[in-house]
A and B are shown apart, each in its own frame.
Chain A
Amino acid sequence: MEQKEIELLKLLEKNGRMDNDTISKMLDVAPVEVEEMIKKLEKEHAILGYSTLVDWSTVYEYEGVAALIDVKVTPVRGVGFDKIASRIYRFPEVKAVYLMSGSYDLSVSVEGKTMMEVSRFVSDKLSTLDTVLSTTTHFILKKYKHDGIIFDEGDDDDKRIMVTP
């Protein structure tokens, strides 16, 4: 991949809403080229989507809990972990699934409205899957930092004095 494409991906990864004109100036390419690069990267599935990082704890009306679940499974000959992973990641309440090194196999991130809802998902849906041997559920108590962004910190916190030599 070209160096400029990598720079473009890094810029968009940090700020998916950065406009093409700004990007074109920063990367020293024409605006139409930026558009083409983005289209190409979308087509190649290097860019999969654009999302917004929300700190839901600031939204009073919002109720929700999140949990990380360590899952041990029996891999199946021929398909390894992929098949069971796909059984798990298709549930809409599952936000992320990773194959892990170490003492368990899959790390599953789940979100629900209440602890009861998440618990029910684990006991009814997840643990009952054929190849799942065990699950350990960790409820998330507080999010400090997510995807490189610290939650309690504004981005305009400039501690420098106004004008310096």
Chain B
Amino acid sequence: MSKSYLANHVKELQPSGIRKFFDLASQMENVISLGVGEPDFVTPWNVIEASYHSLEQGYTAYTANAGLFELREEISKYLQDTFSISYNPEDQLLVTVGASQAIDLALRAIVDAGDEVIVVEPCFVSYSPAISLAGGVPVSVSATADNEFKVTPEQIEAAITPRTKAIVLCSPNNPTGAVLSKQELYGIAQVVRKHDLIVLSDEIYAELAYDEAATSIASVDGMKERTILISGFSKSFAMTGWRLGYAAGPVAIMQAMTKIHQYTMMCAPTMAQHGALEALRHGNESVREMKTSYRQRRNFVVKALNEMGLSCHLPGGAFYVFPSIKETGYTSEEFAQKLLEEERVAVVPGHVFGESGEGYIRCSYATSIKQLDEAMKRMDRFIKQNSKM
């Protein structure tokens, strides 16, 4: 069988650089992983219990394509209460299989072949491949450390061409933890309006902002009609494995996304939707507790990293820190690999999140303080032994 049956555009797609570290780390013993992009908490028990209950009651069939109406109502209420944006649960909300599916649907709904979509790097590894799979062309803009990994309106404007259709934003950010302030979002919104673009706003970490509450760009004047707000339950409610997210946006776009969803997915898992309903109705206290714990661990890790000589700003949200390793003289990849081999600590090299991530590593602090404490000790020893400073 010499013929390759693979589609060309899939063949061209590069496998994620994260995979390599997963393979390496999983073969070793006694590894402390700071490479995990998900909460260390188990889903709150009341959410699990509500999902059990729905199964006991026999809720095992499909739901409406757009998701349980009750759940859409709760999401609408949540967005109203949190960001003061109103979305009609009838036709402006879609429940998806994780925020990842929402991103895919949004791109497929708006991108024509050859359309350019701006992504702000360092960013989540899926954006560019999802743009390519939708037939678009990803255009990178680099947020840099000197601006605390926040993109500026000027940088965005410089990347805009007549083919630009949309921009993907993620705040609070994976992998940098950067949170765009209201003021910064205003600036970006101006450029977006001026050039008549759409924003895909990935707000999956919105609940996890520690110093100031996160703002949604959809709440900026004139932006609701050109924003697809994407979020979900994975990070805030520790529900990654449930695969439940949602999108909210203008009617025409949401109808188009629902159409694709209807043909390719039918609906999000029913038992997960019942769990999510409970999470939104009675999950506040759990979120507050988890948030306090993340904030304390963020403070701990940032202090410890700076003390050992890895310069690291205090990120406003998510559960990642993104310290510079430039002074060690290693590339991100070398650093991560040596650290794993010598001290059995897994981190993710920054370059997998985009070129501007080179010289940095992503450390997730969604791990017990006991483990973090030990990881910081090991890293400190590693820095001392590998110091070229």
Query: Which residues in A have some Cβ–Cβ distance to B below 8 Å?
Result: 7, 11, 18, 22, 25-28, 155-156, 158, 160-165
Contacts and interface: CB of A to CB of B under 8 A. Distances in A.
Contacts of A27: 296, 299
B368 A155 contact: yes
B373 to A, nearest CB: 6
Contacts of A22: 300, 369, 373
B40 A158 contact: yes
B383 interface: no
Nearest to A24: B303
Contacts, number: 62
Interface of B: 16, 18, 21-22, 25-26, 31, 33, 35-38, 40, 124-126, 174, 292, 296-297, 299-300, 303-304, 346, 348, 367-370, 373
Given A162-B25, A162-B26, A26 B37 contact: no
Contact of A162 (B22, B125, B369, B373): B22
Contacts of B300: 22, 25-26
B226 to A, nearest CB: 27
A25 to B, nearest CB: 4
A158 B35 CA distance: 13
Given A155-B370, A158-B367, 9 more contacts: A22-B300, A22-B369, A25-B303, A28-B303, A162-B22, A162-B25, A162-B26, A164-B22, A164-B35
A160 B40 contact: yes
A8 to B, nearest CB: 10
Contacts of B18: 163-165
A70 B135 CA distance: 72
Q: Which 10 A-B pairs have the closest CB atoms?
A: A163-B35, A26-B296, A163-B22, A25-B303, A25-B300, A162-B25, A164-B37, A26-B300, A28-B299, A165-B125
A147 B194 CA distance: 58
B31 to A, nearest CB: 7
A7 B292 contact: yes
Nearest to B298: A26
Contacts of B367: 158
A148 B5 CA distance: 56
Contacts of A156: 368
B124 A165 contact: yes
Given A22-B373, A25-B303, A26-B369, A162 B296 contact: no
A110 B368 CA distance: 34
